[in-house]
Amino acid sequence: MAAVVYALDQVSKFLVVEFLEHEEPLTVVPGALVLTVIRNAGAAFSIGTGMTIVFTVIALAVVVAIVRTARKLHSLPWAITLGLLLGGALGNLTDRIFRSPAPFQGHVVDFIQVFPVTRFPVFNLADSGIVCGGVLAVFLAWRGHQIDGTRQTDEPVEGREHTHAEGETDTQAGEPAGERADG
């Protein structure tokens, strides 16, 4: 998932810089979707435009955290979530490291403007991956899905069936599988 998001982000940025930068905005769907190239030195909504290096360091930390967390990953929904987040973070981090005006101070290429009349911020596919991954992470956490593939529930431990790594099932809470009094 991370590779797909990253590739789509980088290819789309290459194409819009190559063909749309220094051109008039391209209306794709009147009143709903316009492609307009801007360079964003700040974070979302162009906040903190003078702190590009700080955002680069934060993005690096996020990438490291996701990669470290992925070692414990045994859940397809969380794999998709972390892939979206990692691909998006890497996409914007690549801009921060390699684009002008300077290494590690580059401006992110944004180009997607939805509902231009509402003044909604211009964004890119990496931003979309980050937002979708964030929403999915909140949903998974709310539903009790854990990164290790388990699911936290509200039901009490007593009487709940436990599944162990070896695939054994233990219906008596508090006793390891194979060590029950009944054999």
How far apart CA 26 and CA 9 sit, in angstroms, is 18
**Residue 106 CA to chain centroid, in angstroms?**
20
Contact 1, 73 (CB under 8 A): no
Query: Can you give the pLDDT at residue 94?
Result: 95
Query: Can you give the pLDDT at residue 183?
Result: 45
Query: Can you give the pLDDT at residue 108?
Result: 94
Query: Can you give the pLDDT at residue 43?
Result: 72
Catalytic site residue 9? no
* Pair of tokens at residue 103: 């290494």
Residue of 9, 95, 110, 148 with catalytic role: 110
Number of domains in the chain: 2
Query: What is the pTM (predicted TM-score) of this model?
Result: 0.78
Catalytic site residue 148? no
Q: Same domain, yes or no, for 169 and 146? A: no
Q: Same domain, yes or no, for 180 and 118? A: no
**For 17-57, what is each residue's pLDDT tens digit?**
999 999 999 999 999 999 999 998 877 656 667 777 788 88
Structural domain of residue 170, as residue ranges? 153-183
Residue of 127, 148, 154, 170 with catalytic role: 127
* Pair of tokens at residue 72: 């414990």
Q: Same domain, yes or no, for 7 and 76? A: yes
Q: Same domain, yes or no, for 74 and 143? A: yes
Q: What is the pLDDT along the chain (183 residues), one digit of tens a residue?
A: 999 999 999 999 999 999 999 999 999 999 999 999 999 887 765 666 777 778 888 889 999 999 999 888 999 999 999 999 999 999 999 999 999 998 988 999 999 999 988 888 899 999 999 999 999 999 999 999 999 989 887 655 555 455 555 555 544 444 454 444 444
Q: Same domain, yes or no, for 140 and 179? A: no
Q: Same domain, yes or no, for 176 and 90? A: no
How far apart CA 69 and CA 74 sit, in angstroms, is 11
CA distances from 119 to 31, 115, 127, 157 (A): 11, 7, 17, 50
Q: Same domain, yes or no, for 67 and 83? A: yes
Q: Same domain, yes or no, for 75 and 147? A: yes
Q: Same domain, yes or no, for 158 and 113? A: no
Query: Can you give the pLDDT at residue 182?
Result: 47
Q: What is the DSSP string of 128-156?
A: HHHHHHHHHHHHHHHTTB-TTS-B--SS-
Q: Same domain, yes or no, for 142 and 161? A: no
Give me the residue label for tokens 């397809």.
76
Query: Can you give the pLDDT at residue 181?
Result: 47
Q: Same domain, yes or no, for 179 and 102? A: no
Q: Same domain, yes or no, for 121 and 56? A: yes
